[in-house]
Amino acid sequence: MSDDAITLEPERESPPPNPGAKKLLRSVIPAFLLSRVLIWIAGAGYFAAREPVIGTALFSRRTWQSVYHLVTGWDGQWYIAAATRGYGPSGVNPDGQSTAPFFPLLPGLIKAGGYLGLSPGLTGLLIASSAFFACLSLLFLLGWEKGGEVMARRVTWFAALSPFAFVFSMIYPDGIFMAASIGAFLLVRRERWLWAALAAVPAALVRPNGLVLAIALGYAAWTSGGDLKERLSRLIPLGLPAAAVTGWILALQAMSGNGFAFVSSKVAWNELAVWDAIPATVNLLTGGSGQTLPVAAAIHLALAGLGGYVLIAGRKIYDRGWGLYCVLVMAAPAVLGIIGLARYMIALFPLYIALADLVDEGGRAERWLIFGTGLATPVILAGVFMGRLVP
């Protein structure tokens, strides 16, 4: 052999499978606390600015009560109503709006808090905050497995400070859905298919479209190789989320007389569908007569467009089933509910993995995207508090 021996480049050391609780908490706790404090201070600042003496008002009981009513408002009031009024006739308003579209897991947890002596609003906020802390923890683990410690930290902070992440501090099921989704796909990476199916059950019971997680897991199960018997053995447990939804439909039928009231009653909300948004956008741009696109809808469309770019540009890092999961989650709001689109987008965990990967590999365009999105966070917060934009 010649003296010019071939030197093999050492392989990149893969991150250990478990970063340890101490390292995880050192990243997750600061991201969680800072982002949540920012939201509450922004809210208090808005209400205090409306008072004669801002400094005094910032610490007044009235200011913080206003913040509390804000973060327990919007859909939060419906989840509280579902917990306290139920899904029968008492859950239907004169205008036709009802508790039916608000799936039972979150109201059930809120009701359970009452047995502990907690108010529905406080219980809902504690559940939302706990779920988001779980989201950040699971996202840190997933980022660690995908790209090591740097990626794990990035995805944690990106999720905590993303525009519309204030929704995770409101009485919404987004944190539960996101945590269940991350947990399920982490279990898929470990080939724990039964446990992944069980993780998909809470996702199916917090949203009308929550069953899409099980569908994406089914795709991952079927395309993971093996003979027919092996594939079926992975698919069969995914009947559990479907069984849970079926059980809820039967329960809703018994309570309200319409097992699919969560679909039919949505008409009463008069939401902005894509076929309404297109002419409204044209009217806005051309100054035409008729309905124009609301500011809230424009913000949701802009942020969803940014998120869509990130999801597509960063798709090469996805695990099996992630892409389908994103498409299925966004399908219904993209068509039927433009106002709310960004809220669904920020609950897509692949968004943060893709974003972190783009930062690693990206050029100027990606870095400007990150910078612009970061600037959007306080702007969105200010807009929500000043305009009471529907999240």
Give the per-residue pLDDT at 140.
97
Give the per-residue pLDDT at 284.
65
Give the per-residue pLDDT at 1.
45
**Crossing angle, helix 120-147 and helix 105-114, to 10 degrees?**
130
Q: Are the C-beta atoms of residues 142 and 182 closer than 8 Å to each other?
A: yes
Give how far Cα 214 sits from Cα of 62, 193, 217, Å. Answer: 44, 11, 5
Write down the domain spans for the chain: 20-168, 173-260, 270-391
Give the per-residue pLDDT at 2.
47
Task: Give the residue from 95, 104, 105, 390 showing the smallest Cα distance to 265.
Answer: 95
How does pLDDT run across 31-77, given as a tens digit for each residue? 999 989 888 888 777 777 766 655 666 778 888 888 888 888 889 99
- What is the Cα–Cα distance from 334 to 74, expressed in whole angstroms? 20
How does pLDDT run across 332-388, given as a tens digit for each residue? 888 877 778 888 998 999 999 999 998 877 656 556 666 566 656 655 665 655 555
Give the per-residue pLDDT at 11.
47
> Which parts of the chain register pLDDT below 50?
1-13
- What is the Cα–Cα distance from 127 to 216, expressed in whole angstroms? 26
Task: Give the residue from 224, 253, 258, 221 showing the smallest Cα distance to 237.
Answer: 221
